[in-house]
Amino acid sequence: MHQDNATFEPVRDWSNYPPVEETIRSDSSLGWLRRMSPIVMTHKWRIIWSVAAAIVAMTAQILVPRFVGLAVDRALIEQTSSLSLFVIILLILGVARASATFGYRYGLYGMAFKVEYQLRTLLFQHLGRLSFSFFDRVQSGQIISRANSDIRSVQMFMAFAPIMAVQFFSFVIAIGLMAAISIPLTAVTMIALPGVFAIGQRLRKIMFPLSWVVQSRQAEIATVVDESVNGVRVVKAFAAERQQIRALAQGAERLRWANLVQHRTRASHTPLIENLPRIALATVLLVGGLQTIDGALSVGDLISFNLYILLLQAPFRFIGMLLILGQRAKASAERIYEILDEPPGVDDRPGAIDLVPPEGRVSFSEVRFSYGTEVVGGTLGAEHPPTVLDGFNLEIPAGQTIAIVGRTGCGKSTISRLLMRFYELQAGVIALDGQDIGGVTQRSLRSAVSLVPDEPFLFSTSIHENIAYGNPNASRQEVEAAARAAQAHKFIVDLEDGYETIVGERGYDLSGGQRQRISLARLFLQDPKVIILDDSTSAIDVEIEERIHHALRDLLEDRTTIVIAHRLSTIALADRVILIENGQVAADGTHQELLEREPRYAATLASSTETGQPW
């Protein structure tokens, strides 16, 4: 096989929303904000002009008390200046502050929502790259929680943190202007700062673990809800509604406790942070009032000073909020990074080439595989599960149809998953036309090899779009031709909206046989060179199955086909039958040959019949 990228054109539906190119920094020793900086810095100019607008707004706000004091002294008491002049100045400052406030809020909120979009898209992109082993061990509720509430927490911090930072900038400027009026009074104002700092540090240390616990327990509830909805038929079949409600109530109670502890901590610290400066305000009123009476301080200066102290309340109020948002965002970011730091498990190797349209010759050479031993975070799992395939060898010539037979758990479906490269091998080589599938791109491999699983999955969209999922640009005529081949056209046109019928979640408003036929139509439309049928007609009645098999014989001509066989009628499609036992090929031949000379094959068929397996 040679590399010829021009001959491979994967079917894809180009979107108006291109993938996110920026990603987080890979160094986990960095702080969470530094790790996210490549994403945040894509909006640096928006951040710069938003912060500049915020500085203008805060500067205008800070100047108001000073001009109010001057107006009192010069226009009202001394009467050396016109009051209208100060009114105009204050109006200009008000307009400037209003315009700048709109600018920085619009800019910062826009930046925060863009970061949220990028994070969510980046997370979803990475989830698409992760191997099946990740989804085997991670609850879907945990993933949903990280993709929603955790990203939302980061977005809220991104929106509010710059505003709060500018508030502290205004605090520094206000202190400077206050010192210009009276250094002793400014010193009195600063008395509360050490106490506020100490309380803030304590609050920060407590809030991070509490925020992590809250987010984790929200994920637990999401898992219970997700499983209850997806498994609603099992829940109702066992009349286990109360059991699920009890599980949700337990999770909700655990979340309630964590939230109460979090808010109790906030309630015990935030009032101190906000009210300590008010003690300074009372002291300033006392000392400043005495200085005014003695003539050491003008009335206007005292009014300005008190207005500045009122302005300083906002930064102190924001300290508690900023600490809580910051610790919640940090906990959420760490949870998001847990997924983004997860190695793909199965990834295109360096120098991987696109697979040119193959002839279809498949070979397994000394393949060894066990579930649960994939590399996770750079190290192998501690457990040593039993080996599913152990020195598995099989050659399938191009265009041949084989049936794989064996007892439950012998590795029949594992063979299909490995050929699709859903998992990485522990040892051995799987080749297509002599090319190691580990050396080709996954997209091109899965364009050439197609799988129809035993449990078909339909998306909550129209039947047309479900059939055309692998070829979104297919015409209605092509979709209908595929549906006819899968014996699905008749029941589809009998539906009220025909091919535009929107199927429910997972297609459960259709019967199992109807879902399998739509899944087969999806395969027919994709037109792959290598086909894997994993018990794909198990829910279809015998008469329709016979018609589907007739269509399959035409489809399978000149294609390599692997049939995971659970029915004798399915085995009849095969040129060869492979018996799997102890992770190896135990016997190889036609169905009749194996019945005559291989007692293990007959025993497997008999055992499956006794246990109700539909041979």
Instruction: Write the class of the CATH domain 362-610.
Output: alpha beta
For the cut 60, the answer to whether the pLDDT of residue 613 exceeds it is no
Instruction: Please report, as a single letter, which amino acid is at residue 15.
Output: S
Q: What is the pLDDT of residue 364?
A: 93
Model confidence at 549, in pLDDT bands (50, 70, 90)? low
Domain-wise residue ranges, the chain: 32-130+137-340, 362-610
At 246, list the tokens: 């009890």
Q: State the chain's mean pLDDT as an integer.
A: 79
Give the residue with greater pLDDT, 318 vs 76: 76
Beta strand 427-432 with 362-369: parallel, antiparallel or unpaired?
Answer: antiparallel
**Residue closest to 59 by CA, chosen among 175, 192, 173, 201:** 173
User: Does 1.20.1560.10 match the CATH number of domain 32-130+137-340?
Assistant: yes
Instruction: Please report, as a single letter, which amino acid is at residue 551.
Output: A
Segment 32-56, tens digit of pLDDT: 889 988 898 888 899 899 988 988 8
Model confidence at 373, in pLDDT bands (50, 70, 90)? low
Beta strand 379-380 with 576-581: parallel, antiparallel or unpaired?
Answer: unpaired
Q: What is the pLDDT of residue 429?
A: 92
Section 353-369 average pLDDT: 87
Q: What is the pLDDT of residue 548?
A: 64
Segment 432-452, tens digit of pLDDT: 988 899 888 888 888 888 888
Do 226 and 135 form a contact (C-beta atoms < 8 A)?
no
Nearest-Å Rg of the Cα atoms of the chain is 34
Q: What is the pLDDT of residue 224?
A: 78
Packing angle between helix 241-294 and helix 299-340, nearest 10 degrees? 150
Q: What is the pLDDT of residue 514?
A: 83
Q: What is the pLDDT of residue 431?
A: 92
Segment 553-612, tens digit of pLDDT: 666 677 888 888 766 767 777 889 999 888 888 888 888 888 888 888 888 777 654 444
Same fold, 32-130+137-340 and 362-610: no
Do 108 and 40 form a contact (C-beta atoms < 8 A)?
no
For the cut 60, the answer to whether the pLDDT of residue 3 exceeds it is no
Residue 323 burial (C-beta neighbours within 10 Å; 0-12, 13-18, 19+): buried
Section 458-478 average pLDDT: 87
Segment 151-192, tens digit of pLDDT: 888 888 888 888 777 777 777 777 787 788 778 878 777 776
Locate the DSSP E strands across 260-414: 362-369, 375-376, 379-380, 389-396, 401-405
Q: What is the pLDDT of residue 102?
A: 92
Q: Hey, how many other C-beta atoms are within 10 angstroms of the C-beta on 6? A: 8
What is the Cα–Cα distance from 389 to 410, expressed in whole angstroms? 8
Model confidence at 313, in pLDDT bands (50, 70, 90)? low
Taking phi over 0 as left and psi of -120 to 50 as alpha, with beta for the rest, 79 belongs to left
Do 202 and 283 form a contact (C-beta atoms < 8 A)?
no
For the cut 80, the answer to whether the pLDDT of residue 312 exceeds it is no
Give the residue with greater pLDDT, 591 vs 317: 591
Q: What is the pLDDT of residue 98?
A: 92
Beta strand 427-432 with 435-436: parallel, antiparallel or unpaired?
Answer: antiparallel
Q: What is the pLDDT of residue 446?
A: 85
For the cut 50, the answer to whether the pLDDT of residue 376 exceeds it is no
Q: State how far Cα 554 lies from the chain centre.
A: 42
Model confidence at 14, in pLDDT bands (50, 70, 90)? very low
Segment 481-524, tens digit of pLDDT: 888 888 889 889 988 889 998 887 777 778 777 888 888 888 88
Q: Which are the contacts of 45, defined by CB distance < 8 A and separation ≥ 6?
A: none
Q: What is the pLDDT of residue 230?
A: 67
Q: How far apart are the first and last CA of the chain?
A: 39
At 75, list the tokens: 């226009």
Do 335 and 211 form a contact (C-beta atoms < 8 A)?
no
* Angle, alpha carbons 473-474-476 (nearest 5°): 125
Section 389-417 average pLDDT: 87
For the cut 70, the answer to whether the pLDDT of residue 546 exceeds it is no
Give the residue with greater pLDDT, 513 vs 468: 468
For the cut 90, the answer to whether the pLDDT of residue 412 exceeds it is no
For the cut 90, the answer to whether the pLDDT of residue 95 exceeds it is yes
The listed range with the strongest mean pLDDT (142-146, 466-470, 533-537, 550-554) is 466-470
Q: What is the pLDDT of residue 424?
A: 87
Do 532 and 414 form a contact (C-beta atoms < 8 A)?
no
DSSP structure string for 490-548: HHHHTSTTGGGPBP-GGGTTS-HHHHHHHHHHHHHHH--SEEEEESTTTTS-HHHHHHH
The listed range with the strongest mean pLDDT (162-171, 471-480, 543-552) is 471-480
